[in-house]
Structure 1
Amino acid sequence: MFTGIVEEKGKVTSIQRKRESLTMSIAAVTVTEDVSIGDSISVNGVCLTVTSYQEDGFTVDVIPETFRTSSLSGVTTGSYVNLERAMRARDRFGGHFVSGHVDAVGTIVKQWREANALYITIEVPEEGLPYLSEKGSISVDGTSLTVFAVHASGFTISLIPETQRATILAEKQTGETVNIEYDVLAKYIDRLLTAKYQPAAGSSANITTEKLEQFGFLD
């Protein structure tokens, strides 16, 4: 689990590509301070497992499912990526719950500056639109951000100067892709309200009015 507060920008130093997978080495200082093999690190919002490390970097594997469903397939040697270590129970919780499981790849369609803020409009697949709400939370390339506006095909975010400095988002150009993770609470609520889960006939998980009355939840 992550918070969406990016700790540093790492630089991809080498990539070993296969058809739908890759092994990636990343130069970093902060996230390697207490790293161990098997630790989880968010790379552009994707939860990846450390397979080896040194004082100045670490290596991760990107499996086919992650390769196909995230923007990591387009990362090249020399690219910079957002990095965050998994949160600890004693840490301050400055962002929102981010699992590191990408829901969609979005495309930057518009950018503009207003005073010290950078506004970015991102287009996402239609099925993700119900999870967007004005002033709600969203993870973009692993960065916890607030949705400033919701549109017919996406949403707009605004980056404060610190976020522009500390993440790679300010360096993105119109037409580039970003990893999107919607608020996990919105996804759970949607699943419950739309009854996407259909239990098997006779399943104890099948909640009915009669069952609620049986256990005293209804008078």
Structure 2
Amino acid sequence: MFTGIIEAVGKIKAININSQGARIVIATDSLDMSDVNLGDSIATNGICLTVVEYDSASFSADVSNETLKRTGFANYQVGSKVNLEKAMLASTRFGGHMVSGHVDGISQVLSIQNNGNSIEYWLSMPKELAHYIAEKGSVTIDGTSLTVNALRDDSFRLTIVPHTVKETIFAQYQVGTKVNLEVDLIARYLERLLQGNSHNENEQAQSKSGVDEALLQQAGFIKR
């Protein structure tokens, strides 16, 4: 589990393709590696990767073919910069939102415009993920926890402050850049709660818990 607060910007040192996918080596720059162990998780552009080798300045991880297919890794090259965050601790200050490190889809930068000292980005919204994205709700872009400031039918707007631009890879985004998108984890659980395993099981769960669609709408979790 992660928070979406980026700790460092690293760089891909090597990509070694094999029949199972790829092994990558990431130069970690300023990321503190003193407490990292084999098997630990490090979110790399929002993708939860398992450390299989490491030293004080880099780590290696295996990337499956499934991950290559569903994320931006297929477009990464040696030298590409990536956002890095180590898995959160129970004692960690929770500065972002709950991030699983499981990418839901690919979004694309549609426009970039300055607004005062901030920058507004409009990004495409995959149709199958649109119902998870809400105005003033949370999304994760390349591992960065962000707030959705406006919605259209097929896109959403992010307003990025200078600090975020400086501490992440947002500065390198251009119109057409593809990014990893993870929707709000709570939205997924709410959907599952409402669906249940079947119509009958859903009715039983609602009667036991007292939680139904009307109650969630009244509480503001669902908007019509």
Q: With structure 2 as the length reference, what TM-score do the two structures score?
A: 0.87
Give 5+ residue unaligned stretches, structure 1.
Answer: 213-219
Q: Distance in 1 between matches of 2:26 and 2:204?
A: 52
Shift of residue 210, structure 1, vs aligned partner: 11
Q: Distance in 2 between matches of 1:109 and 1:20?
A: 33
Q: Secondary structure at the match of 1:208?
A: helix
**8 A Cα contact 2:5 2:145, kept in partner:** yes
What residue number does 1:5 align with?
Answer: 5
**Where do residues 72-91 of structure 1 align in structure 2 (5 Å cutoff)?**
72-91=73-92
**Where do residues 26-175 of structure 1 align in structure 2 (5 Å cutoff)?**
26-28=26-28, 29-175=30-176
Q: Distance in 1 between matches of 2:205 and 2:188?
A: 25
Q: Secondary structure at the match of 1:33?
A: coil
Q: Distance in 1 between matches of 2:4 and 2:65?
A: 24
Q: Distance in 2 between matches of 1:67 and 1:20?
A: 10
Worse-matched range after superposition: 30-39 or 133-142: 30-39
Q: Distance in 1 between matches of 2:44 and 2:206?
A: 48
Q: Are 1:198 and 2:198 matched, yes or no?
A: yes
Give 5+ residue unaligned stretches, structure 2.
Answer: 209-224
**8 A Cα contact 1:82 1:168, kept in partner:** yes
Superposed CA deviations along residues 110-159 of structure 1, whole A, max 9, x for unmatched, are: 11111110111110210111111111111000000000001111211011
**8 A Cα contact 1:104 1:124, kept in partner:** no
Superposed CA deviations along residues 31-51 of structure 1, whole A, max 9, x for unmatched, are: 423111100000000000000
Change (3 A) 1:210 1:137: closer
Which has the larger share of helix? 2
Change (3 A) 1:206 1:143: closer
Change (3 A) 1:209 1:145: closer
What residue number does 1:215 align with?
Answer: none
**8 A Cα contact 2:7 2:84, kept in partner:** yes
Q: Distance in 1 between matches of 2:162 and 2:45?
A: 19
Count of paired positions? 208
Change (3 A) 1:5 1:211: closer
AA paired with 1:54?
A: D
Worse-matched range after superposition: 22-31 or 139-148: 22-31
Q: Distance in 1 between matches of 2:4 and 2:127?
A: 24
* TM superposition outliers: structure 1 runs of 4+ over 6 Å: none
Q: Distance in 1 between matches of 2:184 and 2:109?
A: 19
What residue number does 1:216 align with?
Answer: none
Shift of residue 19, structure 1, vs aligned partner: 6.0
How much is the aligned-residue C-alpha RMSD, in angstroms?
Answer: 2.0
Change (3 A) 1:16 1:37: same
The percent identity for this pair of structures is 40
Shift of residue 60, structure 1, vs aligned partner: 0.7
Shift of residue 3, structure 1, vs aligned partner: 0.1
AA paired with 2:117?
A: N
Superposed CA deviations along residues 166-218 of structure 1, whole A, max 9, x for unmatched, are: 0002211111110001001111112223x26328x8xxx56439974xxxxxx
Q: Distance in 2 between matches of 1:112 and 1:125?
A: 22
